[in-house]
Structure 1
């Protein structure tokens, strides 16, 4: 079973090696490591690992507690293929058929950040225009008003700028598609990092240019 583990750990020589050794003793195979952030003496890294058998995400933090100073920020199952280039593949398909640019974006965007599903919604109304597999028919609250700034329990309205927030039990990434009167919304069980948001913003900007 494949998992993404997001960990915060001291940014010092040997820290990654400690994590790797502990994961190895637990039988996990590290397939990929991505550094998301290095700031204030700490680093935030994503590990893509193959875990033997079936395990629940809640127990993973306990198993990694042997590493001093390590915090497991999130753990979730993933279908990502380490070493692949989903952003390049997405842009290649968009360039081959610009008329379906936004449909292709919705279908492929979850693979960029290990999301569960994606939709495009009409700016201002929240009407779902395109849906990936498993996406809901509509987006509705309750919304984390402190993050979003809108009233709770109302129909979901896309924030005006790229943002990460919570709604209906999901962690969401929302960003406008330039010139299209649409927002791309992605969802998963774990919070999105700013580095992931920045990556998707760049891809969406290119898709919007080609799609126009």
Structure 2
């Protein structure tokens, strides 16, 4: 099972090695480590690991929480294969076909952000939707900047695209709230995609505007 563990640990020499040793002793194979923050004497890291057998997120959390000085902030299944470059792949697809920029963006964001689904909402309607996304989404008060929030059992990231009159929503059902490093990364990607998509001339057909058959049916 491919899991992501978000761990807060003492930011001192050997701290990362202690966590890696503990994971190895539990039979986990570390595939990738991403440092999200380092401040106030602690670090927050995301570990992408393969977990042996049928161990689930709850068991992984319980075992890692027993390591002295370690706080487990979240454990959830991930589809983000280490060694891949999904952000670069996304931008290459958008550069090749900028007219479908927002549809491509929404399809790619769940894997990029370790989330379940994503939608782009405008004027109260879902304009683009990834797999597993709801057909309708009641957007809270549209924020002027990228923010995170909780809604029922979902962790949400809201990313405004002012130039296009859109708000991109990314939803995570498992795991912790989106870290500010994740929000900043997603916001930069959205900004680049919006600049590429802005080159498309106005007044084009739905297909040229990035609306596929599924998107057009939602309108």
Same fold, judged at TM 0.5 (above): yes
TM-score scaled by length of structure 2: 0.86
Q: Does 1:201 align with 2:199?
A: no
Q: Secondary structure at the match of 1:107?
A: helix
- Tell me the distance in 1 between the aligned counterparts of 2:6 and 2:142: 27
Does the 8 Å CA contact 1:22/1:66 hold for their aligned counterparts?
A: no
How far the C-alpha of 1:112 sits from its partner, in A, is: 1.4
Q: Secondary structure at the match of 1:64?
A: helix
How far the C-alpha of 1:127 sits from its partner, in A, is: 1.7
Q: Secondary structure at the match of 1:45?
A: strand
- Tell me the distance in 2 between the aligned counterparts of 1:171 and 1:88: 25
CA shift in 2, pair 1:168/1:126, >3 Å: farther
1:78-129 deviation digits (Å, cap 9, x = unpaired): 111101111111000001001100000000111211111100011xx43211
How far the C-alpha of 1:178 sits from its partner, in A, is: 3.5
1:40-67 deviation digits (Å, cap 9, x = unpaired): 0000000000001222212222211342
Q: Which residue of 2 aligns with 1:96?
A: 96
Q: Which residue of 2 aligns with 1:38?
A: 38
- List alignment gaps of at least 5 residues for structure 1: 141-154
CA RMSD of aligned residues (A): 1.2
Q: Secondary structure at the match of 1:205?
A: helix
Q: Does 1:176 align with 2:160?
A: yes
Q: Which residue of 2 aligns with 1:138?
A: 136
- Tell me the distance in 1 between the aligned counterparts of 2:85 and 2:41: 30
Number of residues paired by the alignment?
Answer: 196
- List alignment gaps of at least 5 residues for structure 2: 199-219
How far the C-alpha of 1:200 sits from its partner, in A, is: 0.6
